[in-house]
Structures are given as structure tokens and as C-alpha cells.
Amino acid sequence: MDDYLHDLYWAQEYARLNRDIMMRTFKGVITEFFPHATFDHDVNCHHNYVSQERYDDVDLIVTRKGAIFAGSGTLGLIPGSMATGSYVVRGLGNATGLCSASHGAGRRMSRRAARRTFTVDDLAAQTAGVESRKDEGVLDEIPGAYKDIDAVIHDQTTGPSPLVEVVARLRTLLCVKG
């Protein structure tokens, strides 16, 4: 197990460094074209990873599959589908939920079911106004195959034990898939 975790953490660190490089590159391009642009807070949010954490005096290996860390004050991203927007959230540190929140809207149907149910014309209609591929190769990513992101966010921000608070709602302008 120690060898497995060592290699896993190495891979996760490699991925983090890649995200850092992409963020620096993105900021460089933006400031090249908009020299007065400023950046307040980076959001470095990953999902589908493993972390060693402690809850109720118990050391755990937490696997966040389809989930993000939502520790107190931690910024995160919860995407919708190709066309439904995304949310920037701030974690509330809910230990009952292992300081986690969903990584996204989540699928309501499998990729195969989406390909059987929808057509390329449906994809074009559901992604109207969003610059994206609209072909058979991304049909399984059609917005109709996903849960309602607003309902998913509502469920994580309300009730007796919320996981996150909404910082901003983002509108989809461009979606790169495939």
C-alpha cells in the first residue's frame, strides 16, 4: 500500500504541476492582450484523486471519485455540462461530508444511452450559443445526458448540513471536448 500511495501521490503532484503551468500560461496570454488585467485568486481544483485525511480522530485514505475537496474556505469549481454553465464555490469544511462536494452535475444517463437517445441535431440545439463541436464524436456529452447543475448546487448549499457556498455562476461560451 505504501508503494501504491507513493506512486499515486507522485502522479497527483505531476498533475498539479501541469495545472500550475497551464494557469501561468493562461495568465501570460491574458496579460499580453490585456496588460491591466489582474488576478485575485487561483482556483486549483482537482477531482478523482486520493488524499490522507483525519476525521473524528481517525486517519483515513479518502478517494474523491467525482468529488472535490471542500475544506473551509477552499475555492472549487463545479461544472455543469457543455452548455449549462459552471459554479465557483467555497467549501464550508463539512466534516460529515468528509469536506467534499460534487465535481460536477453528474450524468443522468450513460454515454451509450445518450448516443442511443439523442441525435446530432439535438446536440446542436442544446448547445446553441456555445462555441463547441457539434458532431457524433461528442454526442455522449450532450447536456441532456447530465443532471440539472442548478439543482445539484442547490442540494449542496441548503439544508441542515451544506457543503459549499456559491461564489459565482459562470456562463458557458466555449466548450472544448474530444
**Residue of 46, 47, 103, 154 marked active site:** 103
Pick out the chain residues at pLDDT < 70: 178
Q: In this predicted model, what pLDDT tens digit does every residue of 73-101 receive, in sequence order?
A: 999 999 999 999 999 999 999 999 999 99
Q: What is the dihedral of CA 7, 11, 62, 43, to 10 degrees?
A: 160
d(CA 46, CA 48): 7
Q: Count CB-CB contacts under 10 A for residue 83.
A: 22
Domain boundaries, the chain: 1-40, 41-106+146-172
Supply the pLDDT for residue 163.
98
Phi then psi dihedrals of residue 152, to 5 deg: -65, -45
At CA 106, angle to CA 104 and CA 111, rounded to 5?
130
Provide the grid cell at 99.
Answer: 469536506
| Prediction pTM value | 0.89
User: Which amino acid, 103?
Assistant: H
Report yes or no: 101 and 164 within 8 Å, Cβ to Cβ.
yes
Active site residue 36: no
